[in-house]
């Protein structure tokens, strides 16, 4: 798709690192499928892909985890 940020680049499928914060928890999610602009580098992550991970963030936060790094596993 055309990049809505710079309006010049085209996005290509790649992977990005998604950082989520919930209370005292910071979670980094690596290799999430994303569309990445080849011009400005803006990352567009599919929300459906991230949604199930958000549920896991909530669970980890309740368990008192403060920092967590995960690989995106759903394929």
Give least dist CB 30 to Zn ion, A: 22
How many angstroms separate the first and last alpha carbons of the chain? 22
CA–CA separation, 48 vs 55, rounded Å? 12
Q: Is 1 in the site for Zn ion (CB under 5 A)?
A: no
Binding letters toward Zn ion, positions 2-41, x by CB under 5 A: -x-xx--x---------------------------x-xx-
Nearest CA to 5 among 54, 55, 41, 35? Answer: 41
Point out which residues bind Zn ion (CB under 5 A).
Answer: 3, 5-6, 9, 37, 39-40, 42
């Amino acid at each position: 798709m055309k990049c809505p940020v710079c309006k010049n680049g085209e996005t290509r499928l790649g992977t990005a690192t998604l950082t989520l914060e919930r209370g005292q928890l910071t979670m980094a999610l690596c290799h999430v499928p994303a569309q990445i602009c080849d011009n400005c580098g803006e990352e567009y992550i599919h929300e459906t892909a991230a949604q199930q991970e958000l549920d896991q963030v909530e669970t980890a936060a309740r368990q008192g985890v403060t920092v967590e790094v995960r690989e995106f596993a759903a394929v």
